[in-house]
Amino acid sequence: MPRILTIAAAQLGPITRSETRPQVVERLIGLLQQAKQHGCELAVFPECALTPFFPHWWIEDQAEIDSYCESSLPGPETQSLFEEAARLGIGFCLGYAELVQEGEQTRRFNSAVVVEQDGRIVGHYRKVHLPGHADHRPSNPFQNLEKRFFEPGDLGFPVFEVFGAKTGMLICNDRRWPESYRCLGLQGCELVLLGYNTPRHYPEYPETDRLADFHHQLSLQAGAYQNGMWIVAAAKAGVEEGVEQIGGSMIVAPSGEVVARATTLGDELLIHRCDLDLCRTYKEGVFPARNRRVESYGRLTQT
């Protein structure tokens, strides 16, 4: 019996600053309903899927920053998403800004959860690689303040047995680092769920702008092939509050082939029947554990 999982990458178009959480949740529910109608068992939403990508703006008022974060999940404004998913019997992966109170200390992470078909949260990840800067750069056309607003994730790269697959999560900039995929792949991960917000313009290194789509796709294809994993990548796309984001949501097979790709910069589902057993060809055949030479890899953790 092949192990087939039908998955949707649920790309989102821009979210405006004036859009309320309930309005955004309605959009997500609409995509979940469509995904279910198309036979999907799982839908993957982007990074920080409940709000516009607020690290693009310099914000001094901490209360305003915190208004973009979730202090509980599900919370009063997201409960309906979890209930509708359970009613439909569809799982989902959701990126969100996480606010945790630990005694006197308030901590904030760029996080994602994976939710089973009965609405239970069964996996939690906090973004490890935070790009950008912590200082205000008024001469840039937009900011990239993840280093100011979030702490680096402290949960490592966990893999969860969910939907019958060994499943991990990555968030945006993580996808550019081979170590992220490797930490998942070495745990036998078969399926990576990934959300992102990627601007086309990199203010500090504009020479990369023309390559933004290429570098995105290159990273996903290499990560999938070299680790024998499926990758389902969902973008927040289009021009959001003046920032052009690349979109380009896609599903990549363990062969490294792109098997589904977004054709718009708006809310859009791309769907594929993912055969989890395809991972074996690459994990066992092309990159067998016996051929690894760990005695030569020491530098990877020493520097």
Cis before 74 (ω within 30): yes
Active site residue 166: no
Draw the binding track, 31-50, toward ligand CDT (x: CB under 6 A; -: no contact). Answer: ----------------x---
Paired tokens of 67: 């208004």
Q: What is the closest distance, in whole angstroms, from the C-beta atom of residue 72 to ligand CDT in the complex?
A: 23
176 binds ligand CDT per the rule CB under 6 A: yes
The window from 190-198, 223-231, 266-274, 290-298 that contacts ligand CDT (CB under 6 A) reads 190-198
Task: Characterize the bridge pairing of strands 191-196 and 165-171.
Answer: parallel
Beta-carbon contacts of residue 227 (< 8 Å; ≥ 6 apart): 181, 182, 184, 185, 189, 254, 282, 283, 287
Active site residue 183: no
Active site residue 47: yes
> Closer to ligand CDT at the Cβ: 78 or 144?
144
In single-letter form, the type of residue at position 283 comes to: K
- CB-based contact 205:145 (threshold 8 Å): no
Rg (CA), the chain: 19
172 binds ligand CDT per the rule CB under 6 A: yes
- CB-based contact 43:8 (threshold 8 Å): yes
Q: What is the closest distance, in whole angstroms, from the C-beta atom of residue 215 to ligand CDT in the complex?
A: 9
Helices (H), 38-101: 62-67, 79-88
> Closer to ligand CDT at the Cβ: 116 or 174?
174
The window from 23-31, 170-178, 251-259, 267-275 that contacts ligand CDT (CB under 6 A) reads 170-178
Cα(203)–Cα(194) distance, integer angstroms: 24
Q: Which of 172, 183, 189, 279 is catalytic?
A: 172
**104 CB burial (10 A radius; 0-12, 13-18, 19+):** exposed
144 binds ligand CDT per the rule CB under 6 A: yes
132 binds ligand CDT per the rule CB under 6 A: yes
Q: What is the closest distance, in whole angstroms, from the C-beta atom of residue 6 to ligand CDT in the complex?
A: 27
The window from 195-203, 220-228, 255-263, 283-291 that contacts ligand CDT (CB under 6 A) reads 195-203
Chain positions contacting ligand CDT, by CB under 6 A: 47, 131-132, 144, 172-173, 176, 196-198, 202
